[in-house]
Amino acid sequence: MRHAFVITAEAGLSNAIRRTLISDMENWAPCKLTIRENTSCQTDEYIAHRVGLMPFRRIGNGDTLDLKSKGGVVYARDMIGTSFEAVEPDIPVMDLGGDSALDVTVHFDRGKPVRHARYSTCSAVAMKRVDDETHEISFQLHDETLSAHKLLMTALDALEARVDDCLLQIGRQPDPPPRSRCG
């Protein structure tokens, strides 16, 4: 579902909010797999890539999920644990043909999309001009149990913290700032 908010702000501030939604929202995501057994025709790297593309939500404590399966189609819902669950449980991980087996532990960590796209909380983040001082910010959440309003407020807090940090850095510079030696 697409979420849209109309804000009274010029293009620069609106774009800063859009970029903050894209890059600064922390989220949990798979970071590595411990593969104990893989007798399928797929490589360990392929399986890790597939799992890394799946969105998960935190439901408890811990930082792992386990996947143990033999034969048949393996789905995201087959990853078992008390810490996370797949946002889309019907996403196929792979088809284990015949007697092929897979025994994996998925490890999670928390990060920002600026570090890696797997941490993204939203996608298709857009900005549209309504008039000179009004813009629409829209995005799609990966996990619809999250509040779009809360995510936007968190983005505004993150942007404010970034601006405050820049002001502190400017305040620590000598007065007047050093002159360029190029001219």
CATH code for the domain of 89: 2.170.120.12
Share of the chain above pLDDT 70, in %: 98
The domain in which residue 17 lies consists of 2-25+121-171
User: Does 62 lie in the same domain as 92?
Assistant: yes
User: Does 100 lie in the same domain as 78?
Assistant: yes
User: Does 56 lie in the same domain as 98?
Assistant: yes
β-strand 64-75 against 84-86: which pairing, if any? unpaired
pTM confidence score: 0.81
Per-residue model confidence as pLDDT tens digits over 50-98: 999 899 999 999 999 999 999 999 999 999 999 999 999 999 999 998 8
Per-residue model confidence as pLDDT tens digits over 119-132: 999 999 999 999 98
Q: 41 in a domain, yes or no?
A: yes
Residues 108 and 34 sit within 8 Å (Cβ to Cβ): no
d(C-alpha 65, C-alpha 56), whole Å: 11
CA atoms within 13 A on the CB side of 22: 12
Q: 103 in a domain, yes or no?
A: yes
User: Does 106 lie in the same domain as 84?
Assistant: yes
Q: What do you get for the CA distance between the two ends of the chain, in Å?
A: 54
Q: 183 in a domain, yes or no?
A: no
Q: 180 in a domain, yes or no?
A: no
Q: How far is CA 33 from the centre of its chain?
A: 18
pLDDT at position 179, please? Answer: 75
For the chain, helix (H) and strand (E) counts, in that order, are 3, 8
**What amino acid occupies position 146?**
L
User: Does 157 lie in the same domain as 105?
Assistant: no
